[in-house]
Amino acid sequence: MVDIDASQMTTRDINLRLKSNSFSNNGITVKNSQGRHNLGVGLSSNTEIKFEGNVGYFCGGLSSQCQIVIQGNAGWAVGDNLMSGSIAVEGNAGASAGSTMRGGSLFVRGNSGARTGISMKGGHLVVGGDSGFMTGFMMQKGRIVVCGNVGEAVGDSMYEGEIFVGGTIGSLGSDAIVQDASEDELIEVWEMLAKEGIAERPKFKKIVSAKKLYHFDSLERLEKNVI
Amino acid sequence: MVKPSSQIWTPEAIEDVHEKAELGRYRIRGFSSFQKVPHFDDLVFLSTGLTRFPLEGYKEKCNTKVVIGHRYASQPLELATPIYITGMSYGALSQTAKNALARASSMVGVATCTGDGGMLPSERKNADKLIYQVLPSRYGSSPADLMQSDAIEIVVGQGAKPGTGGLLMGVKVLGDVAEMRDLPSGIDQRSPTRHPDWLGPDDLSIKIEELREATEGRVPIHVKLPACRVVDDVKLAAKAGADAIVIDSMLAGTGASADIMLDQSGIPTIAAIPLARKALSELGLDGEVSLIASGGIRNGADVAKALALGADAVAIGLAALIALNCNKEIPEANYEQEIGVPAGYCRHCHTGKCPVGITTQDPDLEQRLDFEQAANRVANFINATSMELALITRSLGKGDVRSLEPEDLVALTMEASAMAQIPLAGSNKVY
Ligand SMILES: Cc1cc2nc3c(=O)[nH]c(=O)nc-3n(C[C@H](O)[C@H](O)[C@H](O)COP(=O)(O)O)c2cc1C
Ligand code: SF4
C-alpha cells in the first residue's frame, strides 16, 4: 500500500496520482482527505483506494473498475455516474448518493440523504441505515436496498429497477407501488447484505414502478398513425 | 357577411381549445416558437461611407477564426468561423442526421454537440470537435465518452422549454436509442428538469470542478442557460467557473416541447445577448468567459448581428436541420399524405414521421437522407453563412469578426431599439 497525504497536495495532483497508480496491483491510501471535494474522480482501472477521513462532494464520481473505501462520511453525490467497481462509505452519505450510477456497487454503512439513487441506471446501492426523501427518483434500472427507513416520495416516477426497504416507508412517490418480494429475491438481497458484513435479515418490502406513466394517455391527431 | 375574427379568439386559439378538450393534456410540438417578437431583422448595419473605409473583398482578408473557452481550459475550442452546431440528441435526430452534422462540422472546421441520450461512436468518428452535453436526465451519460470530448456543456435549460425537462415520444424511443438511454423500448420518455447531483450555483461550481478533474483541465466547460433572468443567471454561471456560457433564447428550436413553453417563456435573442454581455462586463470577465448565443440564427447577417451585440460565437440548430433538408420538397416524400401539411409548414419533429429522414427513428424514412449529400449541404450552408458574415464585416471596414460591435447597428423599430439597446435608425436615441 502506498500512502499519500492529501493535506500537502492539490486535488488535481491527488487525482493524477490516483490515476497513475491505477496500474499497479498495490492499493493506495489517501490520508487527511478532510472533506475535500472531487477526490477519486474519473478513475478507470482496477485499483484499491482508501480515503482516511471524510470526503466532500462527488467522491469516486465518473469512475469505473476501482474499489474505493471511504473511512468516514461522504458529501453529496458519492459515486455519481459510477460505471463499475465498488465504493464503500463507512459513515454516512449526503444527498444524491449513487446518482445516475450505471453499474458497480455503492454501499453506505450509515444513513444516506435525500435523492439517494436518483436517476439510477444500473448497479447496486445498499444503505445500512435510513435514506432520505425521493430515494430512487426517476430510477431506471438496478437495485436499491435500504435496511432502515426511507423518507417521503420513494421511487417517484421510476421507470424500472427495484427498491427494497427494511423499515418504514415515509410515502410512495407517483407511480410507485409495493409488491411482495419473492423468497428468492429476499435471499439474494440478504446475500448482498452479508457481503457488506450485515448479518440482519430484514423482511424487505419491494417497491417497483406501476408503469402507469409510460405513455401519455392520449395522442394528438398527428401523433397517431392517421392524418 | 362573415365578420372579422376576434382579436383574442383567433381561429388558432379556438382550435387550441378544441384540441385540448379532446386531449386532456398540454400539447407538444417541435420546431420553434410561433410568437411574433423583435428579431435580427429589426436591426440593420451602418456600413462604410466616407467616415470609414470598406475592405476589398478579394485582397484584404477578414479573420473569422475564434477561440472559445480559454478561461481555464488548456485546450480551448478553436473554430474556423464562429458558428457551431448545437446539441440535438440522437433520438430526436436519426443516426444519419447526427453523423451528417458531425461530418459537416469537420469539413468546415467547427464543432458539433451531442445532445441528450449520449454520444454515438460514429458521431465521435465524424466530428473533429465534439462537445459533450451533461443534462439533468444523464441519459446515456458515459465518463469514457465525456473524457474523449473536446468541450463539455452543462445544460441548465433550453430556450425552447425553460424549466422543463426533455421529451421524446415513444415512436422514437426504440432500438439502440432506448438501449443507450437505459429505458424500456417504446415509452414516452419524460426527463427531470433539475440536475440529480447539484442544485444551486454553489453546487454547480463543485460540479464544474468535478468535470475538470475528470478531464484534467483539458477541455472547456460550457454552461447552457435558457434566456430568462439573463443578467443574474449569467453572473452566477460565470462565478461558478464556466469557461463559456451559452444563452439560448425563446426563439430556439426543439425536437419536442410543450407548445405553451415554446411560446410563453423566455426572452428574444436580441434582448438576451446584450444582457449577457452586460453581466460579463460587470464582472470584469469580458475576453475571459466566452459568450455563445443561440435561438433563431438563420444567415450570416444574423451571426454578424449576434456578434455585434456581444456574442463571441453562435450555435445553430434548426438552420442546420433545414440545410439537411427539413421542410424541403424531395421526390421520395409526400408531405400532405404523410404529415398532413405541405412542405414548408412542417413542425412535426416530435411525431417521428419526418418526411425527409432527419427527426425519425423509422429506417425507411431515414433512408431518404443521404449521408454524403446531407453533410455537403450543411458544410456548404455554414461556408455560405461564414462568407456572408465576412462580407458584412468587411463592408463595415473591419478585418476581423471579433471587431463587430453595437455601434455597427441601428434598430428599425422602437421595440428592437429598447430590447437590443441600439439607437433607433435616424436618431441617436436608444428607446
Ligand atoms: C431536433 C432538436 C433536438 C434538440 N435536442 C436538444 C438536446 O438534446 N439538448 C439540448 O440542450 N438542446 C436541444 N435542442 C435545442 C438546441 O440545442 C438549441 O438550443 C436550439 O436548436 C437553438 O436554436 P435554433 O434551432 O433556432 O438554432 C434541440 C433542438 C432541436 C431542433
Ligand atoms: S421536415 Fe422533419 S425536421 Fe423538418 S419540421 Fe418536419 S419533421 Fe421536423
Provide the chain B residues 164-193 that lie in CB contact (below 8 A) with chain A.
169-170, 181-184, 187-188, 190, 192
Pick out chain A residues at pLDDT < 50.
226-227
A41:B210 CB<8 A:
yes
Ligand 2: residue whose CA is nearest its atom 5? B347
Ligand nearest to C-alpha B353:
2
Domain assignment of residue B342, yes or no: no
Taking a C-beta distance cutoff of 8 angstroms, is the pair A71, A51 a contact?
A: yes
Is residue B346 situated within a structural domain? no
List % helix, strand, coil for chain B (3-state, nearest 5): 35, 15, 50
Q: What is the CATH number of the domain that holds A83?
A: 2.160.20.60
CA-nearest residue of chain A to B215?
A42
Contact between A164 and A204 under an 8 Å Cβ cutoff? The reply is: yes
- Give B184's contacts in chain A (Cβ within 8 Å): 159-160, 214
The one-letter amino acid code at B91 reads: G
> How many Cβ pairs closer than 8 A exist between chain A and B?
131
Give the 3-state secondary structure of residue B291: strand
Q: Is A223 within 8 Å of B19 when comparing Cβ atoms?
A: no
Distance A99 CA to ligand 2 centre (A): 35
Residue B13 lies in a domain: no
B359 found inside a domain: no
| Shortest CA distance from B337: residue in chain A | A227
In B, residues 91-150, which contact A (CB 8 Å cutoff)?
Answer: 137-138, 141-144, 146-147
Contact A151, A95 (CB under 8 A): no
Residue among A12, A57, A115 minimizing CB distance to B196: A115
Q: Can you give the pLDDT of all 431 residues of chain B as single tens digits?
A: 677 778 999 999 999 999 999 999 999 999 999 999 999 999 999 998 898 888 987 778 899 999 999 999 999 999 999 999 999 999 999 999 999 999 999 999 999 999 999 999 999 999 999 999 999 999 999 999 999 999 999 999 999 999 998 889 999 999 999 999 999 999 999 999 999 999 999 999 999 999 999 999 999 999 999 999 999 999 999 999 999 999 999 999 999 999 999 999 999 999 999 999 999 999 999 999 999 999 999 999 999 999 999 999 999 999 999 999 999 999 999 999 999 999 999 999 999 999 999 999 999 999 999 999 999 999 999 999 999 999 999 999 999 999 999 999 999 999 999 999 999 999 989 99
| Cβ of B321 less than 6 Å from ligand 2 | yes
Q: Work out the burial of residue B425: count CB atoms within 10 Å of its CB; fewer than 13 is exposed, 13-18 middle, 19 or more buried.
A: middle
**Amino acid identity at B267:** I
Question: Domain range holding B162?
Answer: 39-325+369-420
Cell numbers placing A27: 492499493
Asked if residues B99 and B371 have their Cβ atoms less than 8 Å apart, the reply is yes
How many CB atoms neighbour CB B229 within 10 A?
Answer: 13
Cβ B348 under 6 angstroms from ligand 2? yes
Indicate which of A222, A224, A225, A226 best probes the interface with B, i.e. most B CBs within 10 Å of its own CB: A222
Residue B212 lies in a domain: yes
Domain count for chain B, please give it: 1
| Closest residue to B197, CB basis, from A83, A96, A215 | A96
Q: Among all chains, which residue has been given the C-alpha cell 449577457?
A: B276
Instruction: Answer yes or no: are the C-beta atoms of B400 and B63 closer than 8 Å.
Output: yes
Kindly determine whether residue B217 and residue A38, on different chains, have CB atoms separated by under 8 Å. no
CB B152 within 8 A of CB B69: no
> Is B122:B99 a contact under the CB 8 Å cutoff?
yes
Domain for residue B20, yes or no?
Answer: no
CA distance readout (Å), B24 to A138, A178, B17, B171, B282 = 24, 29, 10, 20, 47
> How far is the C-alpha of B308 from the C-alpha of B322, rounded, in Å?
25
In a domain, residue B26? The reply is: no
Cβ of B123 less than 6 Å from ligand 1: no
Domain membership flag for residue B378: yes
Q: What is the largest CA-CA distance in chain B?
A: 73
Q: Does the distance separating the beta carbons of A56 and B206 come in below 8 Å?
A: yes
Question: E strand or H helix at B320, and its extent?
Answer: helix B318-324
**Mind giving me the DSSP string for B179-245?**
HHHT--TT--B---SS-SS--SHHHHHHHHHHHHHHTTT-S-EEEEEESSSHHHHHHHHHHTT-SEE
Chain mean position to CA B18: 32
Q: Is B85 in the pocket of ligand 1 (CB under 6 A)?
A: no
Taking only the tens place, the pLDDT of each residue in A132-144 is: 999 999 999 999 9
Domain extent at residue A78: 2-223
Q: What is the ipTM of this complex?
A: 0.96
Q: Length of chain B in residues, anyone?
A: 431
Pairing relation of β-strands A176-179 and A28-31? Answer: unpaired
Residue type, A13: D
pLDDT for the residue numbered A226: 47
Best residue among B254, B314, B347, B369 to mutate for probing ligand 1's pocket (most ligand atoms within 8 Å of CB) is B254
CATH number at residue B122: 3.20.20.70
Distance B328 CA to ligand 2 centre (A): 9
pLDDT at A25: 67
